[in-house]
C-alpha cells in the first residue's frame, strides 16, 4: 500500500513538474509543446488560416446577416450644408468645432454655404502648443528626466490632435477667418512630416531649457518660439491680421463687402462666449458618476483651460443631446470610431462584424473594462446632427457629420445604432441651455485632477 501511494505521489509530482513554467516565469519546452496543440490543422483551422493570409480581418469578420443598409430616415435633424475633409491630418477636433459654428453661421445669416479656415486656427494651435510644452519644461526643470511627468512631456511635445477646449480657447483669443482668407496648404493637409520636425526641435529646446536658470529660460523661450513661428509660416502660411470678405445671401446677391480682423469677424457673425456657454459631458463608467474631472496638461494654451468634464450615465447624456438636436443645434461629439465601422455603408453597428465566429472565441469585456485596459477610448471627434426617435421618444439611431470628405461613409456622414452609441460614445459638448439644473450644479464642486497619462486621455484625431 505504501509503495502504491509513493508511486502515485511521484506521478503527481511528475505531472506538476511537466506542466510548470520555467522558474523565472518563461515558457518551458513542455509548456510550448502543449501550447502548440492550440492549432491542430483541422479543416476549419486551415480554412481560416488560408483566408487570413490574404484578406483583412475586418473584411473576413463582416456579418453577412447585416449587409443591408439601415434606414436613413431621421425624425430630427439639424440643418447643415457641406462636408469638410481633414485629409491626412489629426485635426478632427478642430473641424468638428468649426462645423458646429458653421451650421450656426449659415442659419443665422442666411448664407448659401460657408466654411471657416481650419488652417488659420491650426497655425495658432501649433504655436500655443509649442509654448505650452516649453513652459511646462521650465516648470518641471527640477524634476529628473525619468520622472513620470517629464517623461510624458517629452513623449508628447506637440501634435495636431486635440479636443473642444482647444476650439474654445483658440477662437476666443485669436478669432476666426473664412477659408478663403487662409486656405489649406499641403502641410496643413498632411501634417505628419511637419509634426516630426516640430517635435525634434522642441525636444532639443527642452534639454537646453532644463539647464538654464528660470529668468534666462523665459528669455530663451521667446527666441525658440520665434523659430517655431517661422517654421509654421513656411509650412502653413502667414495668418492674416485683417482681410476683406464679400457676403452673399442664398440667392447669390451681394449683401456687403467689408474689411475685418479675425476677432471682429467672430464677434460680428457668431459672438458667443465659447468658454462659458458650453459643457463637456462624459460617459466613463470606470469612474464615479456625478463628479467633475480635469486632466492635467490636456489643454492647447498654457494659460487656457484643461479638459474638464462632468461624468454622467449614458441616459442623461442622451436627454441633453436629443434636446439640442430638436432645437436645430449641432454638437461636438467624440467616440471610438474604429470599432465595428463599416466604411462602405458608413455605419457604426455592433452587428457589422462578427469577430467571435471568425476567431471562435468570446470578447466579453464591457465598456468599463475596455477603458481600464486601454482597449477603447475616444479617438475621433465628429458633429452630432441627427437622432431617430421611436413612438415613445427613445432613440433608435444617431447620425454625425464627419470630416473625411463627401465620398466617405453615407454622404459624408456616419450613422450609428443606439446600441453602438451606448458602448463607444464617450463625450458630447452641449450648450448650457440644454443642460438640466442638477447637472449645472455639479460644476460647483472642485474638479478631481487626473494625470495627463490617464486611460481616458487621448487627443482626438
Handedness of CA 133, 202, 204, 379 (dihedral sign): positive
Asked if 275 and 169 touch (Cβ cutoff 8 Å), the reply is yes
What confidence category does residue 307 fall into, taking pLDDT thresholds of 50, 70 and 90? confident
CA distances from 457 to 120, 130, 163, 349 (A): 26, 19, 10, 24
Catalytic residue among 73, 402, 413, 422: 402
| pLDDT at residue 457 in the model | 67
b/e code 314-339 from CB counts within 10 Å (16+ = b): bebbbebbbbbbeeebbbbbbbbbeb
Asked if 383 and 96 touch (Cβ cutoff 8 Å), the reply is yes
Nearest-angstrom CA–CA distance, 100 and 385:
9
Total tally of structural domains belonging to the chain: 1
| pLDDT at residue 4 in the model | 45
The number of CA neighbours under 13 Å toward the Cβ of 441 is 3
CB contact set of 9 (below 8 Å; sequence gap of 6+): none
Average per-residue pLDDT for the chain: 93
- Residues 147-169: tens digit of each pLDDT: 999 999 999 999 999 999 999 99
Nearest-angstrom CA–CA distance, 279 and 436:
11
CA distances from 352 to 60, 116, 342, 376, 401 (A): 11, 35, 7, 18, 20
> Phi/psi of residue 303, each to 5°?
-95, 20
Nearest-angstrom CA–CA distance, 406 and 394:
29
The number of CA neighbours under 13 Å toward the Cβ of 380 is 17
| pLDDT at residue 22 in the model | 75
- Residues 256-288: tens digit of each pLDDT: 999 999 999 999 999 999 999 999 999 999 999
Mean pLDDT of all residues in 84-106: 97
Instruction: Characterize the bridge pairing of strands 307-311 and 278-282.
Output: parallel
Mean pLDDT of all residues in 347-362: 97
Mean pLDDT of all residues in 302-327: 96
Residue 145: count other Cβ atoms within 10 Å of its Cβ: 11
What confidence category does residue 12 fall into, taking pLDDT thresholds of 50, 70 and 90? very low
Domain of 150, in residue numbers = 76-450
Asked, for residue 34, whether it belongs to a domain, the answer is no
CB contact set of 409 (below 8 Å; sequence gap of 6+): 343, 345, 346, 402
| pLDDT at residue 10 in the model | 44
The rounded radius of gyration (Å) of the Cα atoms in the chain is 27
- Residues 105-128: tens digit of each pLDDT: 999 999 999 999 999 999 999 999
- Residues 214-238: tens digit of each pLDDT: 899 999 999 999 999 999 999 999 9
Evaluate if residue 381 carries a pLDDT over 80.
yes
Asked, for residue 49, whether it belongs to a domain, the answer is no
Evaluate if residue 172 carries a pLDDT over 60.
yes
Nearest-angstrom CA–CA distance, 205 and 220:
9
Residue 142: count other Cβ atoms within 10 Å of its Cβ: 9
| pLDDT at residue 3 in the model | 47
Nearest-angstrom CA–CA distance, 404 and 408:
6
- The CATH number that applies at residue 421 is 3.90.70.10
Asked, for residue 201, whether it belongs to a domain, the answer is yes
| pLDDT at residue 20 in the model | 60
Among 401, 407, 282, 413, residue whose Cα is nearest residue 346: 413
Asked, for residue 330, whether it belongs to a domain, the answer is yes
Asked, for residue 21, whether it belongs to a domain, the answer is no
> Phi/psi of residue 212, each to 5°?
-100, 155
Catalytic residue among 92, 121, 235, 335: 92
Mean pLDDT of all residues in 133-156: 96
What one-character DSSP code corresponds to residue 38? G
What confidence category does residue 11 fall into, taking pLDDT thresholds of 50, 70 and 90? very low
Catalytic residue among 119, 121, 131, 380: 380
- Residues 1-10: tens digit of each pLDDT: 444 444 444 4
Set of cell numbers at residue 8: 502515485
Asked, for residue 94, whether it belongs to a domain, the answer is yes
Give the total residue count for the chain: 461
Instruction: Characterize the bridge pairing of strands 331-335 and 425-431.
Output: antiparallel
Mean pLDDT of all residues in 359-388: 96
Asked, for residue 455, whether it belongs to a domain, the answer is no
Residue 390: count other Cβ atoms within 10 Å of its Cβ: 10
- Residues 176-215: tens digit of each pLDDT: 999 999 999 999 999 999 999 999 999 999 999 999 998 9
Catalytic residue list contains 92: yes
DSSP 161-201: -B-HHHHHHHHHHH---BTTTS---HHHHB-HHHHHHHHHH
| pLDDT at residue 5 in the model | 44
Asked, for residue 432, whether it belongs to a domain, the answer is yes
Amino acid at each position: 500500500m505504501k509503495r502504491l501511494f509513493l508511486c502515485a505521489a511521484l506521478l503527481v509530482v511528475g505531472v506538476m513538474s511537466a506542466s510548470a513554467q520555467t522558474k523565472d516565469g518563461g515558457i518551458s519546452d513542455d509548456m510550448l509543446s502543449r501550447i502548440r496543440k492550440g492549432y491542430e490543422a483541422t479543416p476549419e483551422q486551415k480554412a481560416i488560416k488560408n483566408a487570413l493570409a490574404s484578406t483583412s480581418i475586418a473584411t473576413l469578420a463582416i456579418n453577412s446577416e447585416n449587409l443591408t443598409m439601415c434606414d436613413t430616415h431621421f425624425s430630427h435633424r439639424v440643418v447643415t450644408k457641406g462636408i469638410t475633409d481633414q485629409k491626412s491630418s489629426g485635426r478632427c477636433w478642430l473641424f468638428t468645432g468649426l462645423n458646429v459654428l458653421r451650421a450656426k453661421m449659415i442659419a443665422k445669416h442666411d448664407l448659401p454655404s460657408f466654411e471657416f479656415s481650419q488652417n488659420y486656427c491650426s497655425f495658432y494651435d501649433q504655436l500655443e502648443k509649442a509654448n505650452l510644452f516649453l513652459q511646462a519644461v521650465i516648470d518641471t526643470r527640477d524634476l529628473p528626466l525619468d520622472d513620470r511627468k517629464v517623461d510624458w512631456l517629452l513623449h508628447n511635445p506637440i501634435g495636431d490632435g486635440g479636443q473642444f477646449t482647444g476650439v474654445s480657447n483658440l477662437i476666443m483669443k485669436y478669432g476666426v477667418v473664412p477659408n478663403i482668407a487662409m486656405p489649406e496648404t499641403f502641410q496643413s493637409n498632411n501634417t505628419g512630416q511637419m509634426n516630426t520636425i516640430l517635435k525634434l526641435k522642441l525636444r532639443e529646446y527642452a534639454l537646453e531649457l532644463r539647464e538654464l536658470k528660470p529668468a534666462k529660460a523665459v528669455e530663451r523661450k521667446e527666441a525658440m518660439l520665434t523659430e517655431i513661428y517661422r517654421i509654421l509660416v513656411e509650412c502653413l502660411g502667414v495668418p492674416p491680421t485683417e482681410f476683406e470678405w464679400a457676403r452673399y445671401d442664398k440667392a447669390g446677391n451681394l449683401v456687403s463687402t467689408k474689411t475685418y480682423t479675425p476677432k471682429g469677424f467672430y464677434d460680428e457673425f457668431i459672438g458667443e462666449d465659447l468658454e462659458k456657454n458650453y459643457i463637456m459631458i462624459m460617459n466613463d463608467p470606470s469612474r464615479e458618476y456625478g463628479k467633475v474631472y480635469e486632466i492635467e496638461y490636456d489643454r492647447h494654451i498654457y494659460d487656457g483651460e484643461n479638459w474638464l468634464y462632468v461624468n454622467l450615465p449614458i441616459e442623461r447624456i442622451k436627454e441633453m443631446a436629443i434636446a439640442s438636436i430638436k432645437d436645430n443645434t449641432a454638437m461636438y461629439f467624440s467616440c471610438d470610431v474604429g470599432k465595428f465601422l463599416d466604411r462602405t455603408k458608413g455605419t457604426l453597428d455592433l452587428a457589422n462584424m462578427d469577430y467571435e465566429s471568425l476567431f471562435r472565441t468570446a470578447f466579453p469585456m464591457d465598456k468599463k473594462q475596455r477603458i481600464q485596459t486601454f482597449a477603447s477610448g475616444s479617438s475621433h471627434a465628429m458633429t452630432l446632427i441627427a437622432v431617430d426617435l421611436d413612438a415613445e421618444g427613445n432613440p433608435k439611431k444617431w447620425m454625425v457629420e464627419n470630416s473625411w470628405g463627401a465620398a466617405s461613409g453615407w454622404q459624408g456622414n456616419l450613422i450609428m445604432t443606439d446600441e453602438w452609441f451606448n458602448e463607444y460614445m464617450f463625450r458630447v459638448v452641449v450648450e448650457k441651455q440644454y443642460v438640466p439644473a442638477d447637472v449645472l450644479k455639479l460644476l460647483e464642486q472642485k474638479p478631481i485632477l487626473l494625470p495627463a497619462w490617464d486611460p481616458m486621455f487621448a487627443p482626438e484625431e
